[in-house]
Chains A and B, each alone.
Chain A
Amino acid sequence: MLEIKTIKEEKYSILQLEGEVDASNSVELDSSIQQLLEAGETGILVDASSLEYISSAGLGVFMSYLEDFHEKNIKMVIFGLKEKVYQVFVILGLDKLMNIKNTKEEALEEI
């Protein structure tokens, strides 16, 4: 079960993830990010504080945008990851490739 909420702020958007991302629903995460890109968003904060689980299907969605974000100077920062979920990023070394912060305040400083 995955719920995604997009909240538009003045200078950025927040993508709130709640539940579990797996191969059955990672396409929803993909289209939420796609919609933000199509709307011309340049700052994306991913609120992962209610994210309980992520499999490679979800990680792959984030990974597939990193080059584009870099080229178009779009900032994406993930914050609030629970330790168990954060460790999945660490296993693959994605913590070195993605901008991950503990709190929303820290994440906002990156945007």
Chain B
Amino acid sequence: MDQKLRLYCNTDQLVNLRQFLNGKLSGTTMSEIESMQVILAVEEVCANLIIHSHECNPTEFIELNVMRKNGSIVIEIKDYGRGFNILEYQEPNIDQVLKTKRKGGLGIMLVKKIMDKIEFESNGTKNICRLFKNL
């Protein structure tokens, strides 16, 4: 089921990302609710990269690869440029989000709560974020 998607850095592309992942996850043992949550987690990482790392520049792209590995679904998200280390990012808590009336900050919280394992690696130009969900 090794499958790749090239996603150009425009938020209008997120709907294509959901369709792509839906196709990949529908053949697994995941329930509809579970696979929707995995899709959401992947979208949060991608939206973050599109908006913050690539400033919605539609000529730039990120690459997705969906794999099955040792009883897990692994979604690999690759981008080139200013990396975003999701593991080092300290997300705000819900109270801070409420008090500051900020509209962001919830996405990474969702990713960390939904996925079973997260890896990040970067060599300075190529960044890879891997999201794992146990089947």
Residues of A within 8 A of B (CB): 1, 20, 22-24, 26, 30, 53, 55-57, 59-61, 63-68, 83-84, 87-88, 91-94, 97
Contacts and interface: CB of A to CB of B under 8 A. Distances in A.
A20 B15 contact: yes
Interface string B84-126: 0000000000100111011111110110011000000000000
A57 B12 CA distance: 13
A64 B98 CA distance: 6
A22 B14 contact: yes
Contact of A91 (B43, B99, B104, B110): B110
B2 interface: no
A91 B110 CA distance: 7
Chain B interface residue bracket vs A:
20 to 34
B32 A64 contact: no
A26 B26 CA distance: 27
Interface string B15-34: 10010000000000000110
Given A55-B44, A87-B37, A68 B101 contact: yes
Contacts, number: 82
A96 B97 CA distance: 15
Contacts of B12: 24
21 contacts: A22-B14, A22-B47, A24-B14, A53-B18, A53-B40, A56-B44, A56-B107, A56-B110, A57-B103, A57-B107, A60-B97, A60-B104, A60-B105, A63-B98, A63-B106, A64-B102, A64-B103, A67-B101, A84-B32, A84-B36, A92-B110
Nearest to B46: A23
A55 B47 CA distance: 10
Contacts of B135: none
Contact of B113 (A20, A26, A63, A92): A92
Nearest to A87: B33
A60 B36 contact: no
A59 B43 contact: no
B94 A92 contact: yes
Contacts of B32: 84
The 9 closest A-B pairs by CB, nearest first: A24-B11, A56-B107, A60-B103, A56-B106, A23-B47, A23-B11, A64-B101, A84-B33, A64-B103
A67 B98 contact: yes
